[in-house]
């Protein structure tokens, strides 16, 4: 699949879900901020099921997870004390790939996942190449010193990704010029820059 085809597919998904999923999708979404297809401008289904399904798809798309992965996060969260939705977001947000993105080391969640898989990321000084690795408060994430000279990381250290990222959330302490970050607290839903009504996602899976 070419990069152009991927961009178009992402743009269509962005329009279907009502939010831009990547920097490249922004211009397409702004130009046509309604669902694709000949009935895109018409009224969308507002059934309870459709609303919950859309919220679930929005959450899944922002973390770029397979359905099985998101469903597993729901079951894990269900076993934890407190609100299932809050716990679910915390589980997703403490994934290594998500924190690499939030720290500003990558421009998209897919790029962050690639950086982890290609062994560019250290956790407490050790290479971790599993994107779903769960980072614990107090642990430090850093781009491997030998990788810091790569163009993507050199640009990131200069803040080049700030144009597509929300401000660094309070649960992360970031030294961008050193490409280093520490998870200082458990992420709270109100602090996580994700567009989703997580209560509806929980209702979708609990049906």
* pLDDT per position as a tens digit, 144-202: 999 999 999 999 999 999 988 889 999 999 999 999 999 999 999 999 999 999 999 99
Tokens of 102: 């939030």
**Does residue 134 have a pLDDT over 80?**
yes
- φ/ψ (deg, to 5) at 186: -70, 135
The 3-state DSSP class for residue 195 equals coil
User: pLDDT digits over 177-187, tens only?
Assistant: 999 999 999 99
Taking the CA atoms of 103, 67, 88 and 44 in sequence, report the sign of the dihedral they define: positive
Q: What is the largest CA-CA distance in the chain?
A: 53
Residue that wins the pLDDT comparison between 163 and 139:
139
pLDDT of residue 165: 84
**pLDDT over 90 at 70, yes or no:** yes
Which two structure tokens, joined as six digits, stand for 163?
């144009």
Considering only residues 166 and 66, tell me which one the structure prediction assigns the higher pLDDT.
66
Encoding tokens for residue 71?
């469903």
Q: Per-residue pLDDT tens for 86-115?
A: 999 999 999 999 999 999 999 999 999 999
3-19 pLDDT, tens digit each? 545 556 655 656 666 76
Element (H, E) at 86: helix 84-93
Give the per-residue pLDDT at 49: 94
pLDDT digits (tens, 9 = 90+) for 29-62: 455 555 555 545 555 557 999 999 999 999 999 9
Q: What letters, b where the CB count within 10 A reaches 16 and e where it falls short, cover 67-103?
A: eeebeebbeebeeeeeebbbbbbbbbbbbbbbbbbbb
Average pLDDT of every residue of the chain: 87
Is 90 exceeded by the pLDDT of residue 130?
yes
Per-residue pLDDT averaged across 110-139, rounded? 98
User: Residue holding tokens 């971790």?
Assistant: 128
Is the distance from CB of 187 to CB of 93 less than 8 angstroms? Answer: yes
């Amino acid at each position: 699949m070419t990069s152009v085809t991927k961009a178009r597919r992402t743009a269509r998904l962005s329009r279907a879900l009502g939010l831009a999923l990547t920097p490249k999708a922004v211009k397409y979404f702004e130009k046509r901020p309604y669902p694709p297809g000949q009935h895109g401008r018409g009224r969308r289904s507002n059934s309870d099921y459709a609303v919950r399904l859309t919220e679930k798809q929005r959450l899944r798309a922002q973390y770029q997870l397979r359905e099985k992965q998101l469903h597993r996060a729901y079951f894990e969260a269900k076993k934890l004390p407190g609100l299932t939705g809050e716990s679910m977001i915390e589980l997703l947000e403490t994934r290594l790939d998500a924190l690499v993105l939030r720290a500003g080391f990558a421009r998209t969640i897919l790029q962050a996942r690639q950086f982890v898989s290609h062994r560019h990321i250290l956790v407490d000084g050790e290479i971790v190449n599993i994107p779903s690795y769960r980072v614990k408060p107090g642990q430090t994430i850093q781009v491997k010193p030998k990788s810091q000279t790569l163009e993507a990381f050199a640009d990131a250290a200069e803040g080049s990704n700030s144009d597509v990222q929300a401000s660094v959330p309070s649960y992360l302490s970031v030294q961008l010029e050193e490409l280093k970050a520490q998870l200082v607290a458990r992420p709270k839903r109100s602090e996580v820059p994700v567009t989703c009504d997580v209560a509806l996602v929980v209702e979708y899976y609990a049906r």
